[in-house]
Amino acid sequence: MLKEGGFSFQPGDLGENILLKGIDYNELIPEKIIKIGSEVVLQVSKICDPCATLSQLPSIGKTRIKELLRESMGLRGWYARVIQEGDITIGDKVMLS
**DSSP assignment, residue 9?**
-
Q: What is the pTM of this model?
A: 0.76
pLDDT of 97 reads 94
pLDDT score at 3: 62
| pLDDT at residue 28 is higher than 60 | yes
Q: Binning pLDDT at 50, 70 and 90, where does residue 2 land?
A: low
**Beta carbons of 18 and 94 less than 8 angstroms apart:** no
Confidence category of residue 96, pLDDT binned at 50, 70, 90: very high
Q: Sign (positive/negative) of CA torsion 4, 2, 7, 34?
A: negative
pLDDT (tens digit per residue) in 36-77: 999 999 999 998 877 777 788 877 888 888 887 787 777 778
Whole-number pLDDT of residue 54: 79
- The full set of domain ranges for the chain reads 25-96
